[in-house]
Amino acid sequence: MIPVLTLNASSYGGINVRKARYMALFIAKFVEHIESQKRHEHNLRIGIYGQPEVYSALHGIPIFRKKRVQLDKLDIPTDFAQKDIVFYEERNDTSFREAYQLADSDALMITADTKYLNEGADISFYIERETLKFSLNQKSIIDKNWNISDHIKKSEFCNLTIIDINPT
CA gap 110, 62 in Å, rounded: 20
Residue 168, domain member (yes or no) = no
* Structure confidence at residue 162 (pLDDT): 61
Give the structural domain span for 64. 11-163
d(C-alpha 1, C-alpha 29), whole Å? 11
Kindly list the strands in the beta sheet with 69-74, ordered across the sheet, starting from the edge strand earlier in the chain. Answer: 69-74, 44-49, 85-88, 108-111, 123-128, 131-137, 159-163
Task: Look at residue 79 in the predicted model and tell me its pLDDT.
Answer: 87
156 half-sphere exposure, CB direction, 13 A CA radius: 3
CATH code of the domain containing 28:
3.40.50.2300
Give the pLDDT score at 159: 60
Give domain status of residue 4, yes or no: no
Which residue stretches of the chain have pLDDT < 50? 1-14, 157
Q: How far are the Cα atoms of 48, 65, 94, 105 from residue 134, in angstroms, in the given order?
A: 17, 24, 23, 22
Q: pLDDT by residue (tens digit) across 88-107?
A: 887 666 788 888 888 898 89
Among 75, 111, 105, which residue's Cα sits nearest to residue 93?
75
Q: H or E segment at 160?
A: strand 159-163
3-state helix, strand, coil in the chain (%, to 5): 35, 30, 35
Q: Is residue 3 in some structural domain?
A: no
User: What pLDDT, on the 0 to 100 scale, is given for residue 168?
Assistant: 54
Q: What is the pLDDT of residue 109?
A: 92
In a domain, residue 159? The reply is: yes
pLDDT for 126 equals 73
Domain for residue 119, yes or no? Answer: yes
Q: How far apart are CA 66 and CA 56, in angstroms?
A: 20
Whether 43 maps to a domain, the answer reads yes
Number of domains in the chain: 1
